[in-house]
Structure formats: C-alpha cells, structure tokens
Structure 1
Amino acid sequence: MKTKDFSVLIVVIMIVAMMIIPMPTLLLDFLLIFNICLSLLILLVAMNSKEPLDFSIFPTALLITTLFRLALNVSTTRSILSKADGGKVIETFGSFVIGGNPVVGFVVFLILVVIQFIVITKGSERVAEVAARFTLDAMPGKQMSIDADMNAGLISEQDARARRRKIEQEADFYGAMDGASKFVKGDAIAGIVILLINVIGGFIIGMVIHGMGFAESASTFMLLSVGDGLVSQVPALLISTATGITVTRAASDGNLGSDIMQQVFSYPKLLYVVAGTILILGIFTPIGIFLTLPVAGVLSIGAYTMQKAAKKEELINEQMEMEEVEKDHGSPEKVVNLLPLDPLELEIGYGLIPLADQKQGGDILDRIVMIRRQFAIELGLIIPTIRIRDNLQLPPNQYVLKFRGNRIADGEVYLDHFLAMTQGDEDSGIVGIPVVEPAFGLPATWVNMEEKQKVELMGYMIVDPPSVIATHLTEVLKRFAYQLLRREETKELVDNLKQTHPNLVEELVPNLLSVGEIQKVLQNLLREQISIRDLAAIFETLADYAIYTKESKVLTEYVRQSLTRQITEQYAENGVIHVLTAGATLEKGISDYIQQTEAGIHYLSMDPQMSRKISAELQDQIERVVKAGSQPIFLTSPNIRMYLKQFVDKIMPNVPVLSYTELEPDIEIQSIGVVNI
C-alpha cells in the first residue's frame, strides 16, 4: 500500500480517536485553525473547478470534513465542560468577534445556522437531487448519441469509451452529492444541539463543580459555548457554500471568477443604466448624492473600460481571421490530408436521409451497431466504423457501400414502401415496384401500406426499408470479411489475446510466425465463414504445426481440423448434416494433379479439359440441390478439400466444402448425392 493510502487511513483513525481521547487546548487551537484553512481550501477549489467532475472526490471530502468538525465539537465540549477553558481560538471568537456579549453571539450563531441550513444546504440538496434524477434519465439518450457519433465516424472508439465513462461518473457524482448534502444538513442540526448542551450543561457544571456564582457561570459558559459554535459554523458555512457551488455548475468554460466576469459583465451598456438608476436614487431620495455618486462613478468607469477592451479584442480577432484567410489562400493545399481512406462508407441519396436522422425516427445507426456486435459474436471480427454520408449525386432512393473508396454493393429502397417476398411463385396481381432483393437475389416487390395488408394475407414476407439495408450490409460484409482483417487489425487481436494468454502468444509470435503469416491464416478462415473468435484454440494449433510448415493454406487446414466442434455445430441441423460426397474418381482426378515446388508449397496444375469436366459436374449437382430447396454442402477427404473449394468458388462462392476430419464423430452424415467424373 502506498504512503498516500496510509496517510488517509491515519487521518480517519485520528478523527475517530479525537472523540474519545481528551486533547490539550493548544492542540485544539491548532486543529480549529486547520479546520478553517481546510474549509477555505475546499471552497476555493470548488470555485476554480471547470466542471463538477474536476472535483469528483468532493462527496467523500464532505463526509470526512463533517466528521472532523464533529470530532472537534466533541473535544471542545469536553474541554469547556471539564476545564471551563476552550483555548485561545474559542476565547477569541467569544470575546473579540462578538464583543463579549453572549446574547449577540447567540443571535449571530442562529443567523449563520439559518443561512446554512435553510438557504444554502436546502437549495444544494434540491439541486443535487434533481441533477441526479435528470442525469440518470438522460443516460440512455446520451449513450445512443455516442453510438451514433461513433458510427458516423465523428469520434473514435477510444473517444466513445471516454465519453461513456464520463456519463457514468456524472451519474455517480450527482447521486453521491444527493446523499452527501445530508451530511451538511445534519451538521447544522448537530451544531444547535451541541450549543444548547454546552450552555445548559456548562451553567450547571459551573455552579455545582467549579463553585461559580449564577452570573459568573452563565457569562463564562455562554461565552465559551457561543464562541465554540461560531468556530464550528464558519467552516461549516464555507463547506456548504462549496457544496452549493459544485452542484450548480451546470456548464462553464473556466473557473467561477472568469465565468462571472465574462457572463455578468459582458454588457457594458447595462452598467450605464445601473449607474444612472443609482444616481437618480441619490438625487430624488433622502439617501443623498454623496453616497450614490461614488458608486455610480465606479460603475460608469468600469463600463467605459470594458467597452474599450471589447473593441480592442474585436479588432484583434478580425485581424487574426484576416491573417488566417490570407494564410489559407496564400499557402498550397495540403494534399496529403486527402490521401487517407475510410475503411467502410455508406453513402445514401437525399431521399434516404431520414433513415440516418434519429430525430425523424431513423434507426439505421442502431442497426449498424447491432451488425458490428453480430460480427464480433459470430465471426470474432471487429468491423471498422461505418461512416454514413449523404451523396447528392446518387439517385434519391439509392445507397452505396464502399470499401476503401471502392463500391462493393448498392441497392435501392423506398421509404414509404415495404419489400414483399415469397418462396413460392410470384403473384402477378400484386401492385408495386418489381425488383430483385439485394442481399440474396430473390424476386421481390415494393408495395405501399395499403397493398402490404393484402400481401401479408397471401403469405408474403414483409421487410421494412431499414431491415433491407441492414440485411444487405450484413451479407456483403460477410463476403468481404477476410479483406477487412488487415495487419493492424490482426495486431490488435494478437495484443488482446496476449492479455489472457501471454505464454501462448510469446511462443508463437514472432518466434514461429509473423503477424502477416497469422493474418493469412485468419483470412483463409474468414473467407469460408469460419469464426476466429476462439483465437486461443487457433493459436495453439498454429504453435503445434508452424514448426513443420509456414504455408498458410496447409496451416489453415490444420486449424480447421482443430475446430471440429465449431464447424459441426455451424452446419449440422438436429445432429444431422446433409452433404454431397466427393466420389473416388473425383478425388483421384484432383489428387493426381497436385504438385509441389522446391520450397514445399503445394498447388494444383490441371489441364483445361479435366478442369472443365469437374466444374460441369459440380455445377450440375449444385443446381440440383438448390432447386430442391436445400443448402449444398460438399464433403471430401482432407487432402483435396482446399483444391475442391477452388472449383466450387468459381460456381457459387458461399457453398461450404468440408472434410471428414472437420466433423465430430457422433454427427450423422446423410449423403444426398455422390459427385464423380
């Protein structure tokens, strides 16, 4: 534990000890002066804080100072009642400050308590309560605003995390202030009770124990009690004022002094009006001009000085703006700022702007957030922030998805329509705009609200425009997921895994494989929609086989074989998987053409006639299964799996090709066809 931690613990223990152990009057004098200094310091810090979170420890400090002040009250009460002596500080407040008149001192004490308890503390308590309630109610909206700014590319993920953390701290702070203001309220009540105890108890003890007369006992203990009360209430008043200042600082650009000078005295002409009013008050009332003229003169001089300063500042700002304009026009444009490309951009026509405007009910930003979360869960890939921009050059209802400045997908949606799709035959009687559904290429029709009710009864599936865009984006990003994983993103995944599996990462990187070689393996997995979320299992397999080969395709096959449970669960339904099995002639036809270079890299070298023959047979089988309404999945031996996948990708890229070693032994395999040549 650090020295600072020990110091705070020792201070708290000493405060508690003060309530039990008698203190000498000299030490009490020192602690009373220290209490006033500490309260004044807290008040000054509260005044100079730009925002409440700059003094986030204030609720705890309020508790500690209140406890310290009450401990001092206990110690001074013990000293007053037992010795009839409270020390120099209390004696000074009782004699010099209130002129030795206990009645006047008692009235002053009551006024301070009323100011603190009814005015400052009551108001601070209400402000803190309302601020805490409003802050909690506004948290969901603020969180959505942060997500929207991050999806629009206005802030980074680090900025978003910092802003979310600040929102949480604000809620915690105002909630703590709501409770901490009760300390000040209780302290004021305790001050009144302690004063009465000191006066009544001291009067009795003075006559019974110290042998004083009635008048002497009343004068002595009344003076000491009131002095003790004033010594306690002055720091308490400073602390309660600091509480009020802290909870009422809603928004500021500087400390309290600069804000007051900038905002209250930013209208010099109004000071002339005030000066004239004060001068007229002195002329036409018995107050007299001798009192009001100096005040009016000071206000007028201040207004004149502020006007000159404002004009000077305005001239300086205009000169700086002119210099900036001249600098911009005189210097060549920094073309280098135009070079960076956004990883992903979604451009929309002006007719689709309401989809991105939350004020108009648009939720496309929230849907993009869900897409990014879906990719993180399903594929283990962090999709870069998708920047949304309006493009007036596009048709009103068109949207375009760009990857590093290049168009990879586009489509059209109609805000006042719904997309109607069916798995059966299309009904020519439907009134609408016939289109091809962008995500899966199915025939569909955009229908209006009236036609929507009709097609729903006919069994059509109805999709709203935001869902059409979100589904299209999801399918396109799945197809290009492997391209989104670049060197920097791979390095982030490696660093993240290193926090939980440091020994595994140190064994593999960079001793066995570089970040670039790991990237190729992960890209190969993502290209076939295999999740890389279980990065630890992938790295363990790479560490086992990287000592034998560095070829990324071969390492990918080893990794796939280690993810049997994941792959089986991905493609099996109810413990059964329906596959197209590669026959013996097909496997032999491919394996005979596998060649190996001197560097140990395997590749397929096949004559065009055999290649066309295999492709034709595969296409026939795929079309047969698709027409039957099933998902074609090929199953083959591990030696030729990657080469068979090359043929299938040319026909239909999203068709999976699995090997026997990638499936769990307990899975039931049902063959729906054998592919031979």
Structure 2
Amino acid sequence: MDFAASVKKTDVGIALYLLAAVAFFIIPIPNFLLDIMIAFNISIALIVLMNVLFVQEVLDMSFFPTLLLFTTIFRISLNVSSTKLILSSGDPGNVVRTFGTFVGGNNLIIGGIIFLILIIIQFMVINKGSERVAEVSARFTLDAMPGKQMAIDADLNTGAIDDQEAKRRRDKIQEESAFFGAMDGATKYVKGDATAGLIITVVNMAGGTALGMINQGLPFAEAIQQFGILTIGDGLVSQIPSLLISLSTGILVTKGSKAADFSGTLVKQLFGLPKVLYIVAGSMAVLAFTPLNTVLFLGFAAAFGVSGYSMSKTLGEEEIEQEVAAEETEAEEIRKPENVVSLLQVDPIELEFGYGIIPLADVNQGGDLLDRVVMIRRQIALELGTVVPIIRLRDNIQLNPNQYIIKIKGIQVTEGEILFDHYMAMNPGYVEEEITGIPTFEPSFHLPAIWITESQRERAESLGYTVVDPPSIIATHLTEIIRSHIAELLTRQDVQNLVDNLKESNPVIVDELIPKLLGLGDVQKVLQNLLSEGISIRDLLSIFEVLADHATTTHDTDVLTEYVRQGLKRAISGRYFAPNEVTQVITVDPKVEQDIMASIKQTEQGAYLTLDPERIKAIIGSLEDEIKKIEDMGRTPIVVTSPIVRMYFKSMTQDYIKDLIVVSYNEIDSNVELSSVGMVTG
C-alpha cells in the first residue's frame, strides 16, 4: 500500500511540474512566486548535474532525454513569466533584479558581456560538442548491435553464459541503442534552448526600452539602463541553469557506457602517473626563475613534487595489497569445499587448442570459429533432429601451438594439427597437374592432402583441387566427431526436452506412450539406436506413432528400433538411394542369414549371437572383398538383408567395419531400384 501511495505521489509530482510550465505560459504569476520557481529551477539543474557526475553507468540515467525536454519547457515558461513582469510592471522579483545588479555588476555593458560569454560557451562549445558526440555515439551503437548480438549468441552456445545472462545482455544492448538514439535528438532541445534564450533577451531589451519611453516617459538612456539591467538579470537567471543542463548532457554523452567511479577514475587518470607530476614540478621550477612570480611557481613545483612522491608511494602500497589480496583469494578458493564439487563437472564436448589457433577463435582478431560452432549445432539439429550439447572452447598451453584436440565427456577422442596462414588442398581424383606443398592428411576422413600458401590457392583451385581454410578444417572435423558420438551424447534430459516439445502440439500420442507403454529410458535407447546409424529423429511424431503401435507386444528396444526404421523407410530411402537411378548394393547369402538366425540366443537382458568365431571371420572376409569391389566402382557400400537379420548382421560387423550401411528390404521404398553386384558368403 505504501509503495502504491509513493508511486501516486511521484506521478502527481511530475504532472504538477509539467502543468505548472503550461500554466506559466498563460497565467501571470506574482513576482514572489517567480522567485520561488527560479530558485527551484536552479536547484533542479544542480541535482541533474550532480547525478550525471556521480552516476556509474549512463543507462542509470536512461530517462535523461525526457528529463531534458521537461527542464527545457519549464525554464522557457519561467522566461515567459519574467518577461511579462518586466514589461508590465518593471518588477520581476528579487532574484532577477539581484542577478542583474550583483552578477551583472549593475552595469548594462558588463552584464551584457557576461551574458554573451555564457551564450557562446553554451552554444558554440558545450552544445556543439555534445551534439556531435551524441550523433556519433548513436551511429556507432546502432552499427555495433549485430556484432554484439552475435557475440552474445556465441558466448551462449559455448557455455560462457547462461540464458538469463544472455537475455540481460540483449536487453542492455537494446536499452543502449534506444538511449543514444534518443540522446542524439535530445541534444537539439538544449541547442534550441540557448538560441531561444538569446532571442528572448533581445526582444525583452527592445520591448522594455520602448515601453519605458512610451508609458513612463523615461529618456532613452534611462529606459535602456533600467530595463536592460532587468533583462540581463532575467537572461542570466535562465541561462545559468541552462548551462548546467548543457554541461550535464556533455558529461553524460562523453562518459561512455562502462560502469565506473567517475570522479575517482578521472583524478586517477589525471594524477595517477608519478613521473608526469615530477616533470610538471620540474617545469614549474624552471619557470620560477623567469620574470614570473617566483614564489608562486616554486610553490606549485613543490606541491606537484610532493604529490608525485605521494602517488608513487601509494601505487607501491596498492601493488603489494593487490598481490596479498590475490594470494589470499587464491588460498580461499583452494580451501573452499564447493570447488572440489565443481571439478566433478564434465563437459559433453570440448575443443582444446594451442595458442597458435587462438586468433581463429578470437572475434576481436577476426576469428569466426565461435560462429562456426553455432552453425554446427544448427546443422546437426536440422540433420539429425537432436540438440547438440554446449561445445566448450578453451586454449591449452600444454598443446603444440597449432594442435587441437576434441574431447567427449572429458576423454580425448581425436586430435589434429593445422598450419596457420595456410590452406589445405585435396585432390578429388581427377587433378592432372599436381601442385607442390607440405604433405599431410585431412583429419576428418584421413584423406591425403597438402598444405599450400595463400599465393598458391587460386592456382590450386583452377587445377581442380578442393581448397579449405583452417577454420573449415576444424569445424568439419568437429562436426564428424559429433555425428559419430551423438548417440551417447543424447541424455534422458535431452529426450525429456524433445518429449515436452512434441507434447505441446501432440499431447495424445505422448500421454499414450510415456509412461504407460514405455519408460523414458526405453525411448532414449531407441533414439540412440537410430542416431548411432545416422538416422534422423527429427520426425519424432512418426517415431512415437510406431512405438505406440508395437510397444504393446514387445519392450525389446532393439526390436522396437527395427519397427521404427521400417516406419521411417521414406526417410531412409531418401538418405541412401538416389531416385530414378539403379543403386548397386551388396546382398547376404540366405544360408548366412539362416546361420545367423540359428545362433541367436534370447535372454532377459536381450539377444546375442553365438556364431562360431571362425565363421564370423569368414563372413567378414567375404564382406570386405565385396566392399572393396563396390568402392573401386566409386560407389558407397550398402548391404541389404532380410528384416529379421538386419540388426544382428549390423551388430556382428560394426566392430570390424565402421559406419557400414546396413538396411533391410522393409526399409526401402517401393520406387527404389536395386542391383546386386555382390553377395556376402561365409
């Protein structure tokens, strides 16, 4: 209730402030009330100046452009009211008269010169500079927005910040762009205010003199002296607060957007280097022995010398304190029990690199590796239908400068090495003229390649070489590693997130399947089986439909995976078989299939093969021969089996032949044409 009342009071206060400004334009006010309002206006200007001076961040004064408009209209309304009193009664009140006689020296010429000097300072120096700074700040803030947004996205995707921090930073960027854009326009208020003050003063001078001569019968010299002093007082009364507001605007737009203790930082930057103070002290001492005031300059020399000595001593103490504080902080961190717990955290995917590769990951040095990591996650999500965990990028001084390693769940699974400022050129097989370079192997697929320089790149491409830059090499390698390990990276929490996402649009199928027919772990196992063979789980609705149809008869996740594969046959056919083209495949001898089925042993934990090792060796040997034949033809080896044998044949061969494509006849669309070019015997 108190808070609501407080809000209402502030609303009423702001409304009265603006209504008073409007009323002063229309209703004549007595001179004593004008004195009160002028004093109030000066105090508001001082409050604004002090707030701007000591505020730590410019966004803490985000309503400053609106405040400029409010104070400007209020100040002009007081100008109009004082003008009415000067012209009508010749008595605008004590404050205006005192400013004309005391501040202006009770002399029309002196007061006029002071007023003109204030106008020139405000209009030509402060306003012009503030307007230019505000314009440039607004332009650069808007131009920098896309880069800042990309940097936030990169930090979010690499795990440096969480979603909440990313949202806070995005909101701050929006606020900064809105603030500097508004300040660019608001500085025009201040500039216009100074111009209006000059025009009002000239009009008051001329009008007051004319009225004094006509209505009061005063001679010209007396009339211009009397009304001129009052006009100059009125001009000074309005121009001094206006100058304070202009100064506040200049401080705010030149202050920058970083949080800082303004006064402390300013003094430290100005007097923070002892050698500068020593040089100034020496210069002042030299000047003391010229015809200048010797005592005065020697006094300043001594003061600066003592200040330099004091500052050097203070800096030495600060360095010692910082070292001690750092050691104490490090000791406290080591002693903290929660730090041991933090060491247990294992990142799903890590890319560590030597210091020579840092420029590729540093946005400030033009590196785009962070952006490529973002694209990898998008690519995998579109291709396989699962969200890749946060990819952690960090430098490792223990590695060779150009070396990088990729870890899955804290364990290194592969490594690579690049040559910075070089390109990798690979012969696709039809290059007639070879180019010289440093021999190497492409890390993702272990293909022979050579390192070439920038000057050789254009010629290598014209000869038919495939040329890639170092960031692309690392990104491709990382993508392939993620693809090959994506099944083990799929956690129950990831599956739950996918289920929740599906439930928003298809709640019926989710409620029917989980947990009535299958547990979350069973669904996870099926999805992992699909991902392990490169089958996309993006069509989660179709997968759940098939699982709901068959989970009533079996809970064996391997068998359910086969049913799902058959339900996804259009996607599988589109992935492995070209339309309107005969695909050459390898088939399996029916006798081999019968032997495999006869050797299957069913247990409570699942089924496994008991085939004789010699027989397995013979089957693998035959398979390798057939694979070599089809690879020599420039084709990708695809083995086709009967549906009941597919998963057992794949299980038997996966330890010998990595990434072998094995599909069943039920997973092939009816419009696909096949041609058997070999048969696996044993």
In the alignment, which of 464, 471, 485 is matched to residue 480 of structure 1? 485
SS in 2 for 1:193: helix
| Alpha-carbon contact 1:151-1:385 (below 8 Å) kept | yes
Letter in 1 for 2:127: T
SS in 2 for 1:467: helix
Equivalents in 2 of 1:518, 1:71: separation in Å? Answer: 74
| Alpha-carbon contact 2:510-2:544 (below 8 Å) kept | no
| Alpha-carbon contact 2:388-2:486 (below 8 Å) kept | no
1:184 shift after superposition = 1.5
Equivalents in 1 of 2:35, 2:564: separation in Å? Answer: 76
In the alignment, which of 45, 49, 67 is matched to residue 55 of structure 2? 49
Equivalents in 2 of 1:455, 1:286: separation in Å? Answer: 75
- Which region of structure 1 is more displaced relative to structure 2, 95-104 or 373-382? 95-104
Letter in 2 for 1:125: E
Equivalents in 2 of 1:652, 1:64: separation in Å? Answer: 77
- Matches for 1:508-657 after TM superposition, within 5 Å: 519-532=524-537, 570-571=575-576, 573=578, 578=583, 603-608=606-611, 612=616, 625-632=630-637, 645-647=650-652, 649-650=654-655, 652-656=657-661
Report the CA distance shift for 1:607/1:522 in structure 2 as closer, same or farther (over 3 A): closer
Letter in 1 for 2:409: R
SS in 2 for 1:264: helix
1:186 shift after superposition = 1.7
Equivalents in 1 of 2:226, 2:571: separation in Å? Answer: 87
1:122 shift after superposition = 1.6
Equivalents in 2 of 1:88, 1:560: separation in Å? Answer: 94
Query: Match for residue 39 of structure 1?
Result: 45
Query: Match for residue 379 of structure 2?
Result: 374
TM-score, scaled relative to structure 1: 0.74
Query: Match for residue 212 of structure 1?
Result: 216
- Which region of structure 1 is more displaced relative to structure 2, 109-118 or 345-354? 345-354
In the alignment, which of 118, 129, 138 is matched to residue 123 of structure 1? 129
| Alpha-carbon contact 2:431-2:464 (below 8 Å) kept | no
SS in 1 for 2:271: coil
Equivalents in 1 of 2:172, 2:411: separation in Å? Answer: 37
SS in 2 for 1:112: helix
In the alignment, which of 669, 675, 680 is matched to residue 672 of structure 1? 675
Query: Match for residue 414 of structure 2?
Result: 409
Equivalents in 1 of 2:223, 2:502: separation in Å? Answer: 76
Q: Is it true that 1:343 corresponds to 2:348 in the alignment?
A: yes
- Which region of structure 1 is more displaced relative to structure 2, 460-469 or 255-264? 460-469
Equivalents in 1 of 2:659, 2:334: separation in Å? Answer: 53
Equivalents in 2 of 1:109, 1:542: separation in Å? Answer: 87
Equivalents in 2 of 1:315, 1:451: separation in Å? Answer: 54
| Alpha-carbon contact 2:586-2:626 (below 8 Å) kept | no
Equivalents in 1 of 2:58, 2:551: separation in Å? Answer: 55
SS in 1 for 2:672: strand
User: Unmatched 5+ residue regions in structure 1?
Assistant: none
1:408 shift after superposition = 1.3
Report the CA distance shift for 1:452/1:245 in structure 2 as closer, same or farther (over 3 A): closer
Query: Match for residue 189 of structure 2?
Result: 183
Report the CA distance shift for 1:614/1:7 in structure 2 as closer, same or farther (over 3 A): farther
Letter in 2 for 1:400: I
| Alpha-carbon contact 1:341-1:404 (below 8 Å) kept | yes
1:269 shift after superposition = 7.8
Equivalents in 2 of 1:572, 1:397: separation in Å? Answer: 40
Equivalents in 1 of 2:340, 2:650: separation in Å? Answer: 44
Equivalents in 2 of 1:28, 1:628: separation in Å? Answer: 99
1:480 shift after superposition = 1.0
SS in 1 for 2:376: helix
Q: Once the two structures are superposed, what CA deviation does each residue of 1:102-138 show, in whole Å capped at 9, x if it has no partner?
A: 5544333222211111111122223334444555666
Q: Once the two structures are superposed, what CA deviation does each residue of 1:624-663 show, in whole Å capped at 9, x if it has no partner?
A: 5444333355677877765565456456553555678878
| Alpha-carbon contact 2:529-2:561 (below 8 Å) kept | yes
- Which region of structure 1 is more displaced relative to structure 2, 251-260 or 556-565? 556-565
User: Unmatched 5+ residue regions in structure 2?
Assistant: none
Q: Once the two structures are superposed, what CA deviation does each residue of 1:550-589 show, in whole Å capped at 9, x if it has no partner?
A: 7655776677677677656555645779485989969888
Q: Once the two structures are superposed, what CA deviation does each residue of 1:319-339 show, in whole Å capped at 9, x if it has no partner?
A: 657767988999999766654
SS in 2 for 1:480: helix
| Alpha-carbon contact 1:132-1:171 (below 8 Å) kept | yes
1:281 shift after superposition = 7.6
| Alpha-carbon contact 2:568-2:667 (below 8 Å) kept | yes
Equivalents in 1 of 2:477, 2:453: separation in Å? Answer: 21
TM-score, scaled relative to structure 2: 0.73
Report the CA distance shift for 1:276/1:569 in structure 2 as closer, same or farther (over 3 A): same
Report the CA distance shift for 1:230/1:498 in structure 2 as closer, same or farther (over 3 A): farther
SS in 2 for 1:410: strand
Question: Percent of pairs identical after alignment?
Answer: 44
- Which region of structure 1 is more displaced relative to structure 2, 7-16 or 525-534? 7-16
Query: Match for residue 65 of structure 1?
Result: 71
- Which region of structure 1 is more displaced relative to structure 2, 255-264 or 528-537? 528-537
Letter in 1 for 2:479: T
1:234 shift after superposition = 2.0
Letter in 1 for 2:244: L
In the alignment, which of 174, 198, 206 is matched to residue 200 of structure 1? 206
The size of the alignment, in residue pairs, is 666
Q: Once the two structures are superposed, what CA deviation does each residue of 1:360-401 show, in whole Å capped at 9, x if it has no partner?
A: 87665554444344334433423422424345565x765432
SS in 2 for 1:345: strand
1:48 shift after superposition = 1.2
Equivalents in 2 of 1:450, 1:150: separation in Å? Answer: 37
Equivalents in 2 of 1:232, 1:536: separation in Å? Answer: 72
1:266 shift after superposition = 3.4
